[in-house]
Amino acid sequence: MDKRLLGNGLEVSAVGLGCMGFSHAYGAPTDRKEAVSMIRSAYEMGYTFFDTAEVYGTPKDPHQNEELVGEALRWVRDQVKIVSKFGIHFDMSSSQVNHPLIPDARAEVIRASVEGSLKRLQTDHIDLYFQHRIDPAVKPEEVAGVMAQLIQEGKILHWGISEANEEYLRRAHTVCPVTAVENRYSMMARQYEELFPVLEELGVGLVAFSPMANGFLSGKYGKGSQFDKKYDYRSNMPQFTDEAMEKNADLIMLLERAAESRDATPAQISMAWMLCKKPWIVPIPGTRKRERLQENAGAVNIKLSAEEVQALDDALDRMEMSEVFGGSRIVKNERGGNSV
């Protein structure tokens, strides 16, 4: 697979694998042996960029995902880049399927998190360590200072911010250069395009999570699609309702037409669109199926011209779409604190 550079020299496969779905948010967890086998299959297909987090797990095994990734990749550790994250925990008292997030980026919490992640990942360093969500009670300069220390100690090699905004990014970057932001980005969620000039100015890459709008842009869902109401966040996502299917029909048709003209799939077009937009964007779709791993990797081979990308942008600008899942609700940490 083609490679891309994020920030100041982190080389990764042009498409990465978001590993969260093996353990969290997309139905009951995958069988452990099967999940490990799938991650290894991804490596054999050319994936070298694997995204996990300390909180991707189950109530019984809250750190399961890191353990899966560590087990799967220990035999090729020097040939892959592992991403993990710190700085949130779930409000398990909530009855919502997608439990609210509670941010916590205090220095002592970060230090405990990185040590736990290193152990579960069976490694002595994390290639890219993301602040999972901004904590309004901790200044970005303080978080960046801890990251600088961890880099100096060799426990992490690069760091980044998930769901970053411009002010927070600039303030943090001044203290310790940021390699990438990991933000929600897809044809249905383009709000962070406003950040693109800042990313280019600072030399920061974009790791795009939910690049297919939680799978919707694959075109494989229709009216009546059902999801596990206990384990699957899609059961509560607005883009999967019957009403949304009608509202988004033109979007799916746009993808299908573009896919037909390129002998591709809608999912591949949705990622080729962003891959061809900027050389520093790396999507990290998740899947539990080997054929989808291969399909997602194939998006790298679809080379859209600047004119074709602009035509898709213009069509998206004019198009009516439903609401799309924008992430779990963030609630205030009980310790309190002032906004930055």
The per-residue pLDDT string of the chain (340 residues; one tens digit each, 9 = 90 and over) reads: 999 999 989 999 999 999 999 987 677 889 999 999 999 999 999 999 999 999 998 878 889 999 999 999 999 999 999 999 999 987 656 556 566 789 999 999 999 999 999 999 999 999 999 999 999 999 999 999 999 999 999 999 999 999 999 999 999 999 999 999 999 999 999 999 999 999 999 999 999 999 999 889 998 888 888 888 777 778 888 888 999 999 999 999 999 999 999 999 999 999 999 999 999 999 999 999 999 999 999 999 999 999 999 999 999 999 999 888 777 677 777 654 433 3
For residue 250, what pLDDT is reported? 96
For residue 319, what pLDDT is reported? 93
Contact 179, 203 (CB under 8 A): no
For residue 232, what pLDDT is reported? 76
Give the relative orientation of helices 290-298 and 32-45 as an angle to the nearest 10 degrees. 30
DSSP-assigned states of every residue in 173-224: HHHS---EEEEE-BTTB-GGGGGHHHHHHHT-EEEEESTTTTTGGGS---TT
For residue 229, what pLDDT is reported? 78
Strand bridging mode 49-51 / 17-18: parallel
**Residue 181: C-alpha distances to residues 102, 114, 158 (Å):** 20, 18, 11
For residue 233, what pLDDT is reported? 77
For residue 225, what pLDDT is reported? 87
One-letter amino acid of 189: A
The 205-209 sheet, strands edge to edge: 17-18, 49-51, 81-86, 126-131, 156-162, 180-184, 205-209, 281-283
What is the chain's percent helix, strand, coil content, to nearest 5? 45, 15, 40
For residue 25, what pLDDT is reported? 65
> Nearest-CA neighbor of 248 among 292, 215, 273, 277?
215
Is the full-model pTM beyond 0.85?
yes
For the annotated catalytic residues, the residue numbers are 56
For residue 231, what pLDDT is reported? 77
Cα-based torsion angle of the residue sequence 79, 169, 314, 297 in order, rounded to the nearest 10 degrees = 10
Paired with 130 in beta bridges are 85, 160
For residue 307, what pLDDT is reported? 97
Cα-based torsion angle of the residue sequence 119, 120, 124, 126 in order, rounded to the nearest 10 degrees = -130
One-letter amino acid of 5: L
For residue 94, what pLDDT is reported? 56
Structure-token pair, residue 228: 């596990």
> Nearest-CA neighbor of 235 among 214, 249, 257?
214
For residue 338, what pLDDT is reported? 34
